[in-house]
Amino acid sequence: MIEAIFLDRDGTIGGSNEIQYPGDFQLFPQAKQAIIDIKKQNIPLFSFTNQPDIAKGKVKKSQFFSELLSFGFDAVYLCPHEDSDNCSCRKPRPGMLLKAAEEHGLNLANCIVIGDRWKDLVAAHAAGAQCILVLKGAGHDTLHAREKWADVQAAFIAANIQEAVEFIFTSLSSQLILPHSHTR
């Protein structure tokens, strides 16, 4: 039923609401378990992240790919551009999700995006995917900046990534996961 799950990096699975480079980045303890739980269900797991410091020459794209793949992601979708580049892949645009759909034959309506920023939610909505907001990282700020994602209805608002994953599997087993069906 669920074709793929997309996880944002900074603030969603680890780190903070500030960017931390590979090597300094630490997964949240509950994120390790959430990734394991998703992998046990044989659901493709993709990372999607904006990393503009690559364009600034401060860090290499390959470092992010190595790190994220080592966490258990099946594929990494990364925008290395700055806002001023006006690319189609930088969240809140849906380019990374659309590329993943094309490469993996996904119907994005059957995919879930989990993130802590309004840009994650808007990208999911633009691509036709379901979204879950986590209140880690920038999640509380996002929750209180509703005007930035006013047209988006999160399927669920979770305390952390583990609660988001538990919601997905509970709803899936109850056949309750429908777009916009649950909001806490």
Distance between CA atoms of 119 and 139, rounded to whole angstroms?
11
> 119 near 91, Cβ under 8 Å?
yes
What is the C-alpha to C-alpha distance for residues 113 and 109, in angstroms, rounded to an integer? 11
Burial class of 39 by CB neighbour count within 10 A (0 to 12, 13 to 18, 19+): middle
Q: What contacts 5, CB < 8 A, 6 or more positions away? A: 38, 43, 44, 45, 46, 111, 112, 113, 114, 168
Structure tokens at 35: 């990734």
Active-site residue flag, 8: yes
Cα distance between residue 180 and residue 165, in whole Å:
16
Active site residue 120: no
**Which residue numbers are catalytic?**
8, 10
